Structures are given as C-alpha cells and as structure tokens.
Amino acid sequence: MIILIAMTVLGLISLFLGLILGYASVRFKVEGSPMVDTINQLLPQSQCGKCGYPGCRPYAEAIHESGSEINLCIPGGETTMLELAKLLDREPKPVGSEQSGVEKPKMVAAVNEAQCIGCTLCLQSCPVDAILGASKLMHTVITQECTGCELCITPCPVECIEMIPISATVTSWKWPHPVTTLTPRSKEVETI
C-alpha cells in the first residue's frame, strides 16, 4: 500500500514537472542562434555569393558554426570585416585574400549610358537597388549604394556595365593595417 502511494505521488510530480517543461519549451523557444543573427546583421545583405555561400545568412552560419574566414565578403569590404573581427575577437585579414591571394580594391558598377538599351535586366538583378532607370530608357548607378557585387554584369545583353575601382580620396582613404614581424637579431616585435 505504501509503495502504491509513493508511486502515485512520484507519477503526479513527474507529470507536473513534464507539463512545466513542455510549456517552457514552447513559450521560450529560440528559433536560431542569436550570434548568427548578429553576424547576419553586420553583412551587407547583397546575397551576391562572392563569399562562396549562397547568401549572407548561410555565410553568417558558416562563420559562427564552422569557423569560416571573416574576410570573404567583398561587397562589405574592410568595414564589415573589421566589425566581424571585433565581434568575434578574431584577427583582421585583408578582404578577399583567402580566395584569390590578393586583396581586391573596392569597385562599383558603371553603366555606359550611350550603349544602354533600357532592358531593365540589371535593375532586376541588383540586390540593393543601386541602379536607376526604366524600360527603354537609360540606366545609371548610384555609386553610394553600389556594393560591388557584380550581379548586374552577367544579365546585361549589350555588355554596357563595367566595374571600376573607387579612387582613394581624402574621405575614402584608410590607413593600411600594420604588419607585425619578428626581427631575427633582437627577437622583438617590429611594426612595419
């Protein structure tokens, strides 16, 4: 009789705790990793695939879960890479150097307006709406909005879009990151 009462009490306690856990799992459900969401917010959302991933969200997941490099986002450039390095406490690296071995300069699209036929295919392919124009009218690029993803080049039937490097001006030039090396004589860290 005592065993039956003890089993009933334990069963009721287990049922009560199970209901609490079930309610808590529904009420406080987390849909994804908050860190992935934070990384994704830092990326430019151009969905260009230049990083080797199909979009910004998969790249953010790869950075967080598999430790992918933080310098693969060409449209985000150095600013995005530095923000990711600060957030993840990683060492900054030149943008794009993991893929090609050489850092590419920041580039923007430019439309040769004399050749543009107004087909609007570039408008449809631009993920950040940096191209202005209408059907059968000339198109132009808002250089401040262009991320340099190059997605507008392929669909252009007359090949009137080209990528041009952004020239360094007083407002766009940045100091290069110092490279640290060990000197063989003194074994001290030297900044070049």
Share of the chain above pLDDT 70, in %: 83
As a whole number of Å, the end-to-end CA separation of the chain is 84
Q: Is pLDDT of 191 > 80?
A: no
- Note the pLDDT of residue 17: 95
Q: Is pLDDT of 72 > 50?
A: yes
Q: Which residues pair with 132 in a beta bridge?
A: 140
Question: 179: which residues sit within 8 A by CB, 6+ positions away?
Answer: 191, 192
Is this prediction's pTM over 0.85? no
Q: Is pLDDT of 98 > 70?
A: no
Over residues 59-79, the mean pLDDT reads: 86
Over residues 47-62, the mean pLDDT reads: 86
- Note the pLDDT of residue 9: 94
Top CATH class of 105-167 equals alpha beta
- Angle between helix axes 56-66 and 34-42 (nearest 10 degrees) is 130
Ranges 19-28, 31-40, 179-188, most confident: 19-28
Which has more pLDDT, 78 or 62? 62
| Tokens coding 93 | 């690296």
The domain spans of the chain are 34-100, 105-167
Mean pLDDT, the chain, rounded, equals 82
Top CATH class of 34-100 equals mainly alpha
Q: 176: pLDDT confidence band, cut at 50, 70 and 90?
A: low
Which has more pLDDT, 163 or 75? 163
